[in-house]
Structure 1
Amino acid sequence: MTVPKVRVPFTGRPGRARDARRARRRVSGPLARNVLLAAAAVPAAAAAWIGVTGVLARSELLAAQHDLTALRDSFATSAEHLPSKGVAAGAPAESAQERLARSAAGHAARAHDLTTGPAWYTAAQLPFLGGPLETVRGIAQASDRLAGAVLSPLAGAVPRLEAGARTGGIPRVLTRLESEAPAFARAARVAAEVRDDAHGLPGSTWLPAVDRARTQLSDQLDRLVPQTRDAAVAARVMPSMLGSHGQRRYFLAFQNTAEARGTGGLPGAFAVLRADRGHLSFEHFGNNTELDSTTTHVNLGAEFTAQYGNNQPESAWANSNLSPHFPNAARIWTAAWRNHTGGRLDGAFAIDPGALGLLLRATGPARMPDGTALTADNVVDITQRDAYAKFDNIAQRKAYFVDTARAAAGRLMTAADDPRMIPALLSAVRDVQREGRLQVWSAHADEQRQLASRPFSGVLPDGPGPFAGLVVNNAAGTKLDYYLDRSLVWAPGACTDRGRSVTTTMTLTNRAPVSGLPEYVTQRVDYPSYRTHPGDNRLLLSYYAGKGARLTGATLDGRRVAMIPGVERGHPVYTLDLELPRQSSRTLVLRLNEPEADHAPTILRQALVTPLRVTVKPAGPCGG
């Protein structure tokens, strides 16, 4: 059977299919345009959102910065942030510091919130264009963590400590500090993490303002991180060192930087300091002549003996601190005191007139027995220059130095007993530490392990990496280092199969006047065989290089010169016996091969009357 073909009838108009196709084209045209417009509007809207929120975030970050500046300034005041007398012990009212820190944390958190979300995240991933946005996001996040997890806990601790000082005295302060030690440690850890994150942000983008903000944040964190670490160590060791768990006694040396020694200056006047539950007092004041004939027997290792043994540092008091490694001097001093008196000491401190000046700036002037006001502006000149012109008699001059030390120390003790002075004193101590004018050593091994990690321990670091240290010891017996200027330039050169070549240029200038100085200041107790003039000086100049470094050449004022090699704590040490005439400069240039010199060196800064001027030139990476 054949199936017939059936035509399905078409009931519409013949052109309807064509019209339908045209209609679809008419509909699809506007739809496509709308889709395209919408697609174009998304990045435009995102850009507008980023622009608006960026402006708001900047405003919040500026407000946070304003609060943090006010927070820093408030710590320099005395009584403004103490809780009111009506506040019960253990429940102090929120202090000005806490309010400022809380406000800063709030602003920083809002800035962080404003720079999060899909628009910011996506835009920050764009090649080239996203660099500034990634940096802004990172700055906001870093500011949030810094204000909320670092500064707020620290600001919260300080008022509680001061409240304790008012309600329970210094022992309560130390108890509070001990309880806050974990918070300080956490804050230091977070600060280091934030710094590392900030250093990892794009620093060279197409938007200079963002680059400047990133640099500013990194610089601030580079300063903050060591301070938080110092605070964490202080919270761990200060209570016990100040006698919270039993009375302590310490040797306190006042170093005379007019005659340079490795740790700073000649150990002249000294005191024995007693700490009993936070209360500080002095048991004894003396000068170097009291301990001149005392001999000690301290095993400081073969390197120390090889480097300094010929100068008899354990029996010649004036040579007891030739090494820049402060624990060596501290162990000699405490052993000498024990041999002299039979009394055990728990550690040693060293400060100099520069440190006294910084501390007196916080406390106000001290009064000498003769009525002289000892101030931040005159203490260095009085002790390092004027006293030599004022007294011809050596005994009278040494007694004057002791009186100066006693007057300044007494003023500091009075201030330390006043809780309103604590913030200003802490700020001054931080400045003293930053200049290297305070050195601390504990005879208790657990405390010393904590202290050794911080610069104020005076420890010569023994780790690997590039290192540069210019250390001078006065070899003439003069007091002319008051007039000494020093500069050091560290310049990396070409990469070698041994690491990298490094050129270190050291210039020393003797500004001593040609006349008018007392004989005691200019006298040469080294009795040189060559002719000298009043004001001429002689120094043992030692350069400390990085571990594994090797000297390849040296010139003095452009002429080749031989250096005396040595080693201390693993560092190669190169020493030159240098005659430095008055009103002259001499330049020593060392060329070395350093095994690790891809980054800036650790600088050893010997604290003398005039600070060392340092220039470090950048080093690019070696290898592919």
Structure 2
Amino acid sequence: MLGAQGPRNYLLMIQNSAEVRASGGIPGALAVLTLDQGKLSLGAQSSAGDVGVMRPTVSVDAEQQQIYSGRLGKYMQDVNLTPDFPTSASTAQAMWERKTGQRVDGVISVDPVALGYLLDATGPVKVKSPELLAIAGGGLPTELNGKNVVPTLLSDVYQNIQQPRLQDAYFAGVAQEIFKELSSGKADARGLVEGITRGTSEGRVLLWSGLASEQVIMTKYPLSGSIAGPSVSPAQFGVYFNDGTGAKMDYYVKRTVQLVEECTGDEYGQIKVRVTSTNTAPADAATSLPEYVTGGGIFGIAPGTVQTNVIAYGPVQAYIETVLVDGEKTDFAANRHSNRPVGSVTVTLAPGESSTVELTFGKIVQHAEPNLVVTPTVQPVKDVVLTTQPAECVPGR
């Protein structure tokens, strides 16, 4: 995959966590990475907006279209509404080929937090391009490092650059500067491996190969981002988030996710998935934040308010029994994806508001220790995923 037998081209998607998607964030910035005999170079750069609308739509299996709508195959911005990265990547590959005529060999996804891990290894990267400096207008740092790259790309850029087209150009330019530093070979090798490993373990780095012989190996590892197959543990739960605001407000949302084991008194297991979300945006977000960040109410969501579709997956063969929002029983959408139960509910939060969703999964036949996978967001994963709360069962009751 590093180009040992000839050059390989990969579509690089930089997921923007300020507008959350199931696998991380909207894939706003795109580029082609070429690997030839292990040497890396960055080629054509673009954006999801440039790819445009797919007519006819790219074919996606009916099961996932039922859950995530036909937008999966219609817009590059929405290919990762599904948490299944092989689906997102193969769809993105088809869209890129239809738009550009170039068929890439695979797809690589990273987010700004993972870029920060890489910058810890390369050291600070200076923004030297006169074009980038002109776009930034003096309001953004001229040197990016592991500490400032996330707030710069996910928040400050919107305060300083008003036009979406120029925002895309800035993202693309920053990516070029970072990958130029990576390809120079000057980075600390050990630090680089540690950064990529950390990003991968948190789901911030994902990889898909368009060659079946390679992809069958990839599916054995979490790096593949698969929701089914050998990389998925028997009692895996997944909690994923999709923005419903149509804006960049997820930079301000803080979340925690916890598994709570329940006593059933029979041979089946029962697990409650507890998701708490808080909108930490300032009270005057409607006026103090740029309209591009709040959405300006264009999709019917009041400026400053965040709407999120919370999606939870249980283990194979289990069922979703109930869903509570702030202690009140609520209706929810129930589906199945690769024989895993999927429940989704929409949460809407004004600045300062919090909400807790609890989805109870029953008839769990797996006796393995439950584990949890979540959408990687701006927050450190360790702050999002709380320790599983064990059941306190009283014998005979």
Same fold (TM over 0.5): yes
Say which of 564, 589, 601 aligns to 2:370: 601
Paired with 1:491 and 1:609, the residues of 2 have a C-alpha distance of: 24
Report the structure, 1 or 2, having the larger strand content: 2
Structure 1, residues 3-57: CA drift from partner, whole Å, max 9, x if none?
xxxxxxxxxxxxxxxxxxxxxxxxxxxxxxxxxxxxxxxxxxxxxxxxxxxxxxx
Corresponding residue of 2:295: 523
How far the C-alpha of 1:534 sits from its partner, in A, is 3.0
Corresponding residue of 2:192: 425
Establish whether residue 348 from structure 1 lines up as the match of residue 107 from structure 2: yes
Corresponding residue of 1:534: 303
State whether residues 600 and 619 of structure 1, in contact with CA within 8 Å, keep that contact through their aligned partners in structure 2.
no
Corresponding residue of 1:307: 67
- Trace 1:194-273 onto structure 2 (pairs within 5 A): 241-273=1-33
Paired with 1:493 and 1:394, the residues of 2 have a C-alpha distance of: 47
How far the C-alpha of 1:332 sits from its partner, in A, is 1.2
How far the C-alpha of 1:575 sits from its partner, in A, is 0.6
How far the C-alpha of 1:403 sits from its partner, in A, is 1.3
State whether residues 109 and 206 of structure 2, in contact with CA within 8 Å, keep that contact through their aligned partners in structure 1.
yes
Say which of 335, 339, 350 aligns to 2:94: 335
How far the C-alpha of 1:382 sits from its partner, in A, is 0.5
Establish whether residue 357 from structure 1 lines up as the match of residue 126 from structure 2: no
Say which of 387, 391, 416 aligns to 2:157: 387
Paired with 1:289 and 1:274, the residues of 2 have a C-alpha distance of: 22
Corresponding residue of 1:500: 269
Paired with 2:38 and 2:105, the residues of 1 have a C-alpha distance of: 15
- Trace 1:431-442 onto structure 2 (pairs within 5 A): 431-442=198-209
State whether residues 254 and 353 of structure 1, in contact with CA within 8 Å, keep that contact through their aligned partners in structure 2.
yes
Corresponding residue of 1:40: none
Paired with 2:322 and 2:68, the residues of 1 have a C-alpha distance of: 24
Q: Which runs of 5+ in 1 are unaligned?
A: 1-240
3-state SS of paired residue (2:269): strand
Q: Quick one: structure 1 residues 596 and 284, their matched pair in 2 at CA, closer, same or farther if it must change by over 3 Å?
A: same
Paired with 1:354 and 1:567, the residues of 2 have a C-alpha distance of: 31
Establish whether residue 447 from structure 1 lines up as the match of residue 214 from structure 2: yes
State whether residues 296 and 336 of structure 1, in contact with CA within 8 Å, keep that contact through their aligned partners in structure 2.
no
The alignment's C-alpha RMSD in Å is 2.3
Establish whether residue 319 from structure 1 lines up as the match of residue 78 from structure 2: yes
TM-score (norm 2): 0.89
3-state SS of paired residue (2:334): strand
Q: Quick one: structure 1 residues 282 and 468, their matched pair in 2 at CA, closer, same or farther if it must change by over 3 Å?
A: same
How far the C-alpha of 1:275 sits from its partner, in A, is 0.9
Corresponding residue of 1:125: none
Report the structure, 1 or 2, having the larger helix content: 1
Paired with 2:265 and 2:219, the residues of 1 have a C-alpha distance of: 34
Q: Quick one: structure 1 residues 278 and 378, their matched pair in 2 at CA, closer, same or farther if it must change by over 3 Å?
A: same
How far the C-alpha of 1:619 sits from its partner, in A, is 5.8
How far the C-alpha of 1:618 sits from its partner, in A, is 3.5
Structure 1, residues 225-265: CA drift from partner, whole Å, max 9, x if none?
xxxxxxxxxxxxxxxx0100121110000110000011100
Corresponding residue of 1:192: none
Highest CA radius of gyration, 1 or 2? 1
3-state SS of paired residue (1:389): helix
Say which of 405, 421, 425 aligns to 2:175: 405
Matching residue's letter, 2:207: V
Corresponding residue of 2:51: 291
Paired with 1:432 and 1:471, the residues of 2 have a C-alpha distance of: 17
Paired with 2:64 and 2:316, the residues of 1 have a C-alpha distance of: 16
Paired with 1:567 and 1:464, the residues of 2 have a C-alpha distance of: 18
Q: Quick one: structure 1 residues 258 and 424, their matched pair in 2 at CA, closer, same or farther if it must change by over 3 Å?
A: same
Matching residue's letter, 1:339: R
Q: Quick one: structure 1 residues 567 and 353, their matched pair in 2 at CA, closer, same or farther if it must change by over 3 Å?
A: same
How far the C-alpha of 1:509 sits from its partner, in A, is 1.0
State whether residues 296 and 302 of structure 2, in contact with CA within 8 Å, keep that contact through their aligned partners in structure 1.
no
Paired with 2:302 and 2:103, the residues of 1 have a C-alpha distance of: 45
Aligned residues with identical type, % of pairs: 30
Paired with 2:390 and 2:54, the residues of 1 have a C-alpha distance of: 48
State whether residues 486 and 509 of structure 1, in contact with CA within 8 Å, keep that contact through their aligned partners in structure 2.
yes
State whether residues 59 and 73 of structure 2, in contact with CA within 8 Å, keep that contact through their aligned partners in structure 1.
no
Q: Quick one: structure 1 residues 287 and 527, their matched pair in 2 at CA, closer, same or farther if it must change by over 3 Å?
A: closer
Matching residue's letter, 1:582: P
Corresponding residue of 1:366: 125
State whether residues 478 and 525 of structure 1, in contact with CA within 8 Å, keep that contact through their aligned partners in structure 2.
no
Greater relative contact order, per chain length (Cα 8 Å cut-off, separation 6+): 2
Paired with 1:295 and 1:356, the residues of 2 have a C-alpha distance of: 33
Corresponding residue of 2:352: 583
Report how many aligned residue pairs link the two structures.
377
Corresponding residue of 1:614: 386
How far the C-alpha of 1:501 sits from its partner, in A, is 2.4
Q: Quick one: structure 1 residues 337 and 392, their matched pair in 2 at CA, closer, same or farther if it must change by over 3 Å?
A: same
